[in-house]
Structure 1
Amino acid sequence: MNVTDLSVMALWGAATLYAIAMVAHAIRLARVADQRAAARVAVAAGSAASSAEASAGETGDAPAPASSVRTGRASVAKPAGIARSTTLVGAVLHGVGLIARGIDAGHAPWSNMYEYTISGSFFAVAVFLIVQRRRDIAFLGAGVTGFATVALGIALTVLYADVSPLPPALQSYWLVIHVSIAVLVTGIFIVSFIATALQLMRDYREEGELPVEGGPVRRAWRRWHNLLARSYDRARWLEAVPSATSLEALSFRLNAVGFVLWTFTVMAGAVWAEHIWGRYWGWDPKEVWSFVIWVLYAAYLHARTTQGWAGRRSAWLAIAGFVALIMNFTVVNLYFQGLHTYAV
C-alpha cells in the first residue's frame, strides 16, 4: 500500500466514523430532550400533588426511585460516549489522511478544491473538539460530524484529483501563510454557522406563533414565521439545545475570531498578489468574493453590537456570510475565469 492509498483509506475511514458519530450525537440529543420533557412533567405533577396534599392533608406519591434516574443517565451516557470516541478517532484518521496527502504531493495539501475540502472539514472537527474541551457544545456534534461526512464524501467521489506539481503561482511560502489561515477560518465559520442555524430554530420556537395582521407583506411574513414556529415546535430534539441567547453568544465569539483571521487572510492574499502579479488588488473574482465575505461578517459584527439588530436579524447576516463563503469556494472556483482558476 502506497501513500496515496493510505490517504484515501484513512479519509474513507474518517467519513465512516463521522457518520456513526452523527447518528450517536442525534440519539443523544433525542434522549436528552426526552429527559428534559419528562422532568418538566414530573415537576408539574409534583407541584400538583403538593397542592393537593397541602389542601387535603394526605401523603403524596413517593419520588421517583434512584434506579430510574440512573437508567435515564445511562441512556444518555452510552450514545454520548460513542459520539465522543468515534468523533475523536475519526479526527485522528482524518489527520492521517491529510498528512499522507501532503507527503504524497510534496507540499501543503491546499492546492486544489479536493485538498481544500478535506482540510476545511478537518479544521471544523478540530475546532469543535477544542472548544468542547472548554465548554459543553455536544449539541453541535451532529451538525459538525454530519457536515464533515458530506464534505469528505463529496471530496472523495466528486472533487478527487491526483497529485500534481504546484503551479508557479503557488510555489511560495505564502501558500502556507495565506491558505492555512483561510482553511482554519473556514473550519471556524462552519461551526459558527451550525450554532447560528440552531439559534434561529430556537428563536422561532421560543417566540411561537404571531397574529396574522397588517398589510399584505406583513401578513405573508407572519404566515412564514408561524410555519417555521410550528415546524420547530414539533422538533422535540431542540429541547436539548441551549436557548437562542446562549447560542447567539457562542456564535458571536466564533465569528469574531473568524473575522479577525479572515481579515488577515485577505491582507496576506493582497501581499502575495503583489509578490506574484505586481499589484495588491485586481478585481479578480476570487478577490472580490473574499471582500464580499469580509463585508458581510463585518456587517454582522456591527449589527450584533447595535441595539435593535441583535438576535435574529444579525443571525441572518451571519448566514449570508457563510453562504457567500460556500459560493466563493464552489461557484467562483468552477464557473468564473480568473487568476485563481488553478485552485479547481
Structure 2
Amino acid sequence: MPIDETLVGYSNLAFKSAWVVYVLVLAMLIVQYSSAQSKKTAERELVAVGGGDRPAGPGKIETKAPRPIAERFGNMAFSVLFVGIALHLASIFLRGFGVHRFPLGNMYEFITMATAAAMVTGLVFMYDRRYRSMWVFLIAPVLVLMYLAGQVLYAEAAPVVPALKSYWLPIHVTVVSVGSGIFLLSGVASLLFLLRLRQPEGQESSNLLGALARRLPDARTLDRLAYKTTIVAFPIFGTGVILGAIWAESAWGRFWGWDPKETMSFIAWVLYAAYLHARATSGWRDTKAAWINVAGFVAMLFNLFIINIVVSGLHSYAGLN
C-alpha cells in the first residue's frame, strides 16, 4: 500500500507539537522547582510567622493563605503535561497508520516509542506530588532524545527493509523500546539519589548542587523509585532479548551470534541483574548499587547511539544514510 503522506504529516506535526509542549512544561517546572523551598526551610518559616492550623477566634473570619507560586506553576505544568503525552502518543499511532506498518522500523520511530514509554511510566510512578520536582530531570533528557530523533535521526516514511518484514517486529522491538523507556526513569532516579546523598536532610548548602538536591524528595524515596522501576523494566527488557533471539533463529538460522547489538544488550541486561542483586546485598544496596544502575543506563545509551550508528552489524537499521 502507498504511504499516506497526509497522516505522516500529521504525525510529524504531533511529534513537533509534543516537543514544544514539553518545553513549555519544563519551563513551568523550572519555575516551580526554583521557587520551591526545602521541607525544613518551609517548616522553619511557618513557625517563625506563627503559622499552623488554628481555629478562627470569635467574630473573626478565617482566611485561607494563597497558594505559593511554586505550587501554582507545578499544577499548571502537570495539567499541560497530559496534552504533551497525548500528542506524543498520537504521533506514534498516526505514523503507523500512515506507513501501514508498526512504527518501529528505524531509530526515529524507536526513540519516539521509548521516550513515550518513559513519559507514561513517569505518570504511573510519579503521579504523587512528592515526585513533582523530579519531572524536571525526566523531561530534560526526553527533550534531548526527541530533538536528536527529529533533527538528526529522522527517516522519511517508507516501508521497512526486507529483513524487518516479519511479525516479530512489533513484538520484539515494542517490548525492547518500552523496557528502555522505563530504564530511562530508573537511571534518572538513581542519579538523583546519588545527588541527594550529597545534601543530607536538614543541612543547608550555598553551592549549586546543594541547592538542586535539597528540593528533591529524600534519598530513600528516590532509591525506592529506581528499584521499583527497574523491577518492572528488567523482565520486560529480558523478554525482549529472548524474543529477539527467537527471531534471529527464524531469520538467520541461529539464536545468538554475538552481533554488537546482541552483545551490548546482553551486557546491559547483566548490569541491571547485578544492580538488583546488589540492591538486596548488605553493604551494596546504597551508593554502590546506584552506580551499577547508572552504568546500566549508560550501556543502554551506548547501545542506542554508538552501536546503532557507528558500529556496523546485523542490527544496523538506523535509517541513516
TM-score where L is the length of structure 1: 0.82
For 1:331, the equivalent position in structure 2 comes to 306
* CA–CA distance in structure 2, aligned partners of residues 283 and 68 of structure 1: 69
The 3 A distance-change label for structure 1 pair 230 and 240 is closer
Shift of 1:256: 1.4
Matched, 1:297 2:292: no
Letter of the 1:193 counterpart: G
Matched, 1:85 2:79: yes
| Paired residues for 1:80-229 under 5 Å | 80-133=74-127, 136-206=130-200
Sequence identity of aligned pairs in percent? 34
Shift of 1:132: 3.3
- The structure having more radius of gyration, on CA atoms, is 1
* CA–CA distance in structure 1, aligned partners of residues 259 and 109 of structure 2: 22
| Paired residues for 1:196-275 under 5 Å | 196-206=190-200, 231-233=208-210, 235=211, 237-275=212-250
Q: Give the ranges of 4+ consecutive aligned residues of structure 1 lying more than 6 Å apart after TM superposition.
A: 64-69
Shift of 1:343: 3.5
Shift of 1:68: 9.1
* CA–CA distance in structure 2, aligned partners of residues 144 and 27 of structure 1: 16
Shift of 1:12: 0.9
The 3 A distance-change label for structure 1 pair 241 and 68 is farther
Deviations 1:156-183 (A, max 9, x none): 1111110121122211111111111111
The 3 A distance-change label for structure 1 pair 278 and 142 is same
Letter of the 1:26 counterpart: I
Greater CA deviation, 130-139 or 311-320?
130-139
* CA–CA distance in structure 2, aligned partners of residues 135 and 31 of structure 1: 15
The 3 A distance-change label for structure 1 pair 135 and 172 is farther
Contact 2:130 2:217 in 1 (8 A): no
* CA–CA distance in structure 2, aligned partners of residues 130 and 245 of structure 1: 19
Contact 2:198 2:213 in 1 (8 A): no
Matched, 1:307 2:307: no
* CA–CA distance in structure 1, aligned partners of residues 311 and 250 of structure 2: 23
| Paired residues for 1:283-294 under 5 Å | 283-294=258-269
* CA–CA distance in structure 2, aligned partners of residues 278 and 8 of structure 1: 37
Contact 1:15 1:148 in 2 (8 A): no
For 1:70, the equivalent position in structure 2 comes to 65
- Secondary structure of 1:337 counterpart: coil
TM-score where L is the length of structure 2: 0.88
Q: For this pair of structures, how many residues does the alignment match?
A: 307
Q: Which runs of 5+ in 2 are unaligned?
A: 55-61
Contact 1:296 1:317 in 2 (8 A): yes
The 3 A distance-change label for structure 1 pair 208 and 323 is farther
The 3 A distance-change label for structure 1 pair 248 and 126 is same
Matching residue within 286, 305, 321 for 2:296: 321
Shift of 1:123: 0.9
Greater share of helix:
1
The 3 A distance-change label for structure 1 pair 129 and 65 is closer
- Secondary structure of 1:33 counterpart: coil
* CA–CA distance in structure 1, aligned partners of residues 39 and 228 of structure 2: 29
